[in-house]
Amino acid sequence: MFGSLIFQNPVLAASGTFGYAGEMRGVFDISRLGGIIPKTVTLYPRTGNIPPRTVETASGLLNSIGLDNDGIDDFLCNKLPYLTTLGTKIIISIAPKNTEECLIFGEKLSLITGIDAVELNVSCPNVSGGIDFATDPKLCEKIVSTFRHITLLPLLVKLSPNVSDIGEISRGAEQGGANAISAINTCLGLSVDWRKRCSRLGNGFGGLSGPAIKPIALRCVRQIFKAVKIPILGIGGIETIDDAMEFFITGASAVQIGTANFYNPTATLQILNALPNALNELGVKNIAEIVGTLEM
């Protein structure tokens, strides 16, 4: 249970790695997913950062997309109608710049149907100001409680690993009224072309994702699990059933698959298909029985 939200299963597609789902049309039966978090939308359209905006590293992807999107009005008019036909939960990801924008988002969302929950993205490393709410527990509490007061929708708060104590930040989100924590967003990184003496990304720094960040994500999930009572959606380098099971044992009640969607578009489905056997191996019937049972 994530507030009043119940997923048919605990495998979801992470924001920014599944487009607005139209991009994945025909690849597999999307209705099998627990849910989709489409690309984050901002109040106004954003063109994003200057290219190049992605670069491959040894075991991860570095991106500096910079929340390129067409804004909330376009999302509600042109993307949501298709998303609502997919037969899975739709969790809108929004990134308000401040509490005033939060109120406007709240008003707009109160006028529509078809959205099952909101993921508040306070953790994008590629936009100035975007991450401030995820680096200070009081600021995090404030933006979450502002939004909490204007919507009845279940509220997920997506946190950044680029902080010294993610447990403390998650407590701020919980106190503000979050129903769940999504963790983690990307890890701030840099890829350098030494011959040209420049960053390989147009924006300089970027966010690292994929297999390289799984140990960081697991550490964060464990710290959050110890800090709060609300459920956690684990994210970071998940591609296989083994990855997903590691997150459940560590403390996640559901998982989101991100970068793996790019190089293995059916990764979500493979995890779902393998889940019953993995649970059977541990002698349990459902995930709730194993969440957080890591001996540590």
Ligand X SMILES: Cc1cc2nc3c(=O)[nH]c(=O)nc-3n(C[C@H](O)[C@H](O)[C@H](O)COP(=O)(O)O)c2cc1C
Q: What is the DSSP string of 133-157?
A: GGT-HHHHHHHHHHHHTT--S-EEE
Sign of torsion over alpha carbons 85, 90, 96, 102:
positive
What residue has token string 């063109």? 47
Is 16 or 172 the residue whose CB approaches ligand X more closely? 16
What value, to the nearest 5°, has the Cα angle with vertex 86 and ends 258 and 221? 30
Is 215 or 285 the residue whose CB approaches ligand X more closely? 215
Positions in the binding site for ligand X (CB under 6 A): 14-17, 39-40, 61, 63, 65, 67, 93, 121, 124, 158, 185-186, 209-210, 213, 235-238, 257-260
Give min distance, CB of 213 to ligand X, in A: 5
Helix axes 214-227, 241-250, angle to 10 degrees: 30
Query: In this structure, are residues 202 and 51 in contact, taking their beta carbons and an 8 Å threshold?
Result: yes
Is 71 or 289 the residue whose CB approaches ligand X more closely? 71
Catalytic residue selected from 102, 124, 187, 220: 124
Is 176 or 210 the residue whose CB approaches ligand X more closely? 210
Q: How does 190-214 read in b/e, with b if 16+ C-beta sit within 10 Å?
A: eeeeeeeeebbbebeebbbbbbbbb
User: What is the C-alpha separation between 227 and 231, in angstroms, rounded?
Assistant: 11
In the sheet that 206-209 helps form, which strands lie side by side, from edge to edge?
54-57, 60-63, 206-209, 187-189
Q: Is 124 a catalytic residue?
A: yes
Is 16 or 137 the residue whose CB approaches ligand X more closely? 16
Give min distance, CB of 249 to ligand X, in A: 18
Give min distance, CB of 37 to ligand X, in A: 7
Is 5 or 36 the residue whose CB approaches ligand X more closely? 36
> Helix, strand or coil for residue 18?
coil
* Residue 151 phi, psi dihedral angles, 5° rounding: -140, 150
End-to-end CA distance of the chain: 25
What residue has token string 């529509």? 112
Residues marked active site are found at 124
